[in-house]
A and B are shown apart, each in its own frame.
Chain A
Amino acid sequence: MATGDHSQTSGATPPIIACQALTKDFSRGRQTAPILADVNLAVDPGGFVTILGQSGGGKSTLLKLLGGFIPPTSGQVLFHGLPLPGITPKIGMVFQENTLYPWLTVEQNIGFGFKVRGKQPAQYRQQVKHFLEHVGLFSARQLYPHQLSGGMKQRVSIARSIAVQPDVLLLDEPFSALDIQLRRRLQGFLSAIWQDMATTMVLVTHNVEEAILLGQRLIVVGDRPGRIIETVDLSDPRFRDRYDARFLALQRHLEGVIEADAYMQDSRLPSHSAEMRSTIPNPAFNPSPKT
């Protein structure tokens, strides 16, 4: 298992967004439950980090902390090297739940970032048209959210967030509810946006394949309390090919890591951990290269 400093970035440039010793507790009645414990993470400008973990592990909480949507219990988030004061348009967020405004059409939803800044429609019509075409929804621009399919809604949400050109885009399981074909199409679509716009992306998913395919770096968050249990460098282009042996080996390895973590949570018997660790498929490669 990978240990050590996960906040290490692969490049020499200072990280655009980073967190140090981040913890988050939520109170449940009289008790407080630790949801995240001591998370250190640094994201390079223009990078694509995927966060992988099982349901309820605290991935959404981590993302909300990174975007300044909720305050940490301790530790801090640094944005461009400075403490993040709160919600900022420089860090865009595509929430896990549907956040399209039901009273606005596709076109109005995508233009909402301009409207809510007090701009007149004439000032941003061109930009909205550009993003409508970019996400392939020009013909659906007059429809309301309840008339859209799940995939269309996700594309509108993403377009709405990138239209205001954030430095960092946080995406919380944007494709979870979609079938495999659509999921793959939208993954390609997101990759293309990332390459076109040079936006730094942090994407949360519980799909191992998606995490490997999209990320430049992959982080596995373990459960209860959420903490980083594995970091994988994915800059090797072979990880873009889902039939490559390296891809498959990593996929198996990560599935094992997650399963072992879940098993240890369920059994709550520390003695199982050694046994479980030996059952993790151990591929020939080193999952966390330190170079």
Chain B
Amino acid sequence: MPRQISGQPAWQASLLAIACGLVSCAVVVGIWEMAGRDSANPVTQVLPPPSQFLPVLFESDFKVGLGSQSASIYQSVMVTLIRVSLGMAIAFVGSIACGLLISLSKWSELFILPLLGLMAPIAPIAWVPLALVVFGVSNLTAIFIVFMGVFFTLTIATVAEIKRIPAPLLMTAENLGGGSFNRWRWVIIPAVLPGVFTLLRLNFIAAWMAVLAAEMTGLRDGLGTVVMTGRNLFNSDLILLGICIIGITGFAVDRLLLLIQRKFFWWQV
């Protein structure tokens, strides 16, 4: 099968991929709905099928929560998305800048890289309590957590990508008369961008989980809060609705990042 797919034009292959994905989803939902028919089924009592939890969205006028705490689903999605994108954007720019600075000298590499290596494996969720203490319940907390989850890995990646640049590319720039600042700007930065962005995309899931964890444990708005509200109200419909939106939004962002990568950071050095 894969051989056949690769022989087809690109759009046909991607259409096939989308169609297959949709079929898979439909099959899962179908089985789920079938199981949900039997109201005595203990599994679907906890995991109500989409036909049960989706109407919650419309009944409540797209609002979740009680009284003054309630927020529209749209708002929750936006809040979470803004937090993740801000945190990732700051981490992306910051780690490229730091990576460049670190690779300026052999010594800074030797001294700083081990520290980064120690920081990188810390799960972003582990920063949640600290961030809550320092920044309180605010957007800053969420952004900080995303940043911490991505920054160290990306900085290490930037340093590695700079090392990976083929020497002739840099020599050519110098040979053509480029000073060191212009070589940074016109060779090193463009050469490392695609690799670092790819890693950013791969780390998005970690950042996404970190924000949701923060929203579930401390913050008062965002997608994670939807799930927690469901928990507090013992409302499985709401929990599943939240989970569903988290899945779909996360998938959409991943596709968006892929699109950005293909459009703006497509080259390979």
Please report which residues of chain B, range 221-269, place their CB below 8 angstroms from some CB of chain A when the two chains form the complex. 267-269
Complexed CA–CA distance, A183 and B191 (Å): 31
Q: Is the CB of B171 within 8 A of A87?
A: yes
For A94-115 the 0/1 string (1 means CB < 8 A from B) is: 0101010111000000001101
Q: Is the CB of A116 within 8 A of B176?
A: yes
Q: Is the CB of A117 within 8 A of B178?
A: yes
| Chain A contact patch, size range | 20 to 34
For A72-94 the 0/1 string (1 means CB < 8 A from B) is: 00000000000000011101110
Complexed CA–CA distance, A95 and B171 (Å): 10
Which interface residue of A101, A103, A164 has the most chain B CB atoms within 10 A? Answer: A103
Complexed CA–CA distance, A116 and B172 (Å): 10
Complexed CA–CA distance, A164 and B176 (Å): 7
* Interface Cβ pair total, 8 Å cutoff: 64
Instruction: State which of B166, B173, B174, B175 has its C-beta within 8 Å of the C-beta of A97.
Output: B166
Q: Which chain A residue has the least Cβ–Cβ distance from B187?
A: A101
Q: How many residues of B contact A (CB 8 A)?
A: 21
Q: Tell me if B183 counts as interface (CB < 8 A to partner A).
A: yes
Please report which residues of chain B, range 166-204, place their CB below 8 angstroms from some CB of chain A when the two chains form the complex. 166, 168-169, 171-179, 182-183, 186-187, 190-191
Q: Which chain B residue has the least Cβ–Cβ distance from A115?
A: B186
Closest Cβ of chain B to A101, distance in Å, is: 7
Q: Which residues of the partner chain A approach B187 to less than 8 Å between Cβ atoms?
A: 101, 116
- Chain B interface secondary structure, helix, strand, loop or mixed? helix
Instruction: State which of A87, A102, A103, A161 has its C-beta within 8 Å of the C-beta of B174.
Output: A87
Complexed CA–CA distance, A100 and B191 (Å): 12
Complexed CA–CA distance, A99 and B187 (Å): 11
Q: Is the CB of A102 within 8 A of B176?
A: no
Q: Which residues of the partner chain B approach A87 to less than 8 Å between Cβ atoms?
A: 171, 174-175
Instruction: State which of A91, A97, A103, A118 has its C-beta within 8 Å of the C-beta of B267.
Output: A103
Q: Tell me if A153 counts as interface (CB < 8 A to partner B).
A: no
Instruction: State which of A69, A103, A113, A144 has its C-beta within 8 Å of the C-beta of B176.
Output: A113
Q: Which residues of the partner chain B approach A160 to less than 8 Å between Cβ atoms?
A: 176
Q: Which chain B residue has the least Cβ–Cβ distance from A102?
A: B267
Known: A93-B171, A95-B168. A113 touches B177 (CB 8 A): yes
Q: Which chain B residue has the least Cβ–Cβ distance from A163?
A: B176
Q: Tell me if A67 counts as interface (CB < 8 A to partner B).
A: yes
Complexed CA–CA distance, A112 and B182 (Å): 11
Q: Which residues of the partner chain A approach B190 to less than 8 Å between Cβ atoms?
A: 101, 103
Known: A93-B175, A101-B190, A103-B190. A116 touches B183 (CB 8 A): yes
Closest Cβ of chain A to B196, distance in Å, is: 14
For A226-238 the 0/1 string (1 means CB < 8 A from B) is: 0000000000000
Q: Is the CB of A99 within 8 A of B176?
A: no
Known: A102-B268, A103-B267, A113-B176. A97 touches B168 (CB 8 A): yes
Q: Which residues of the partner chain B approach A112 to less than 8 Å between Cβ atoms?
A: 173, 176, 186
Question: Residues of A at under 8 Å CB distance from B?
Answer: 67, 69, 87-89, 91-93, 95, 97, 99, 101-103, 112-113, 115-118, 144, 146, 160-161, 164
Question: Assuming A88-B175, A102-B269, A116-B176, what are 4 further A-B pairs, CB within 8 angstroms?
Answer: A99-B172, A101-B187, A113-B177, A116-B186
